[in-house]
Amino acid sequence: MSQRREMKYVLVTGGVVSGLGKGVTASSIGVVLKACGLRVTSIKIGACLAPLKVFVDLDLGNYERFLDIKLTRDNNITTGKIYQVLN
């Protein structure tokens, strides 16, 4: 009989300042958790409204490389997606 464990969340936040290493920190925490035998994924939640910001964000790539996982558009929550759901 398989037992389902309750899902846990780890939130890494650092305000709106870029370049603090939030993505690398989140990826590194994920690597440690994965090494402990846990299933790990990452979700990027970006509240930035700057139209070109999506072209310079490295976090999703870091998540994939560090954790050796393939992410999809479901792993990236943007302000536009949130507004679309609320409308």
Average confidence (pLDDT) over 22-51:
89
**pLDDT > 70? residue 56:** no
Q: Which residue has the higher pLDDT, 45 or 31?
A: 31
To the nearest 10°, report the CA torsion of 39, 74, 62, 50.
-150
Q: What pLDDT score does 4 carry?
A: 80
Q: What is the pTM of this model?
A: 0.77
Region of 40 on the Ramachandran plot (φ > 0 left; ψ -120 to 50 alpha; else beta):
beta
Q: What pLDDT score does 40 carry?
A: 96
**pLDDT > 70? residue 84:** yes
Q: What pLDDT score does 28 carry?
A: 96
Distance CA 46, CA 54 (A): 9
Average confidence (pLDDT) over 8-26:
86
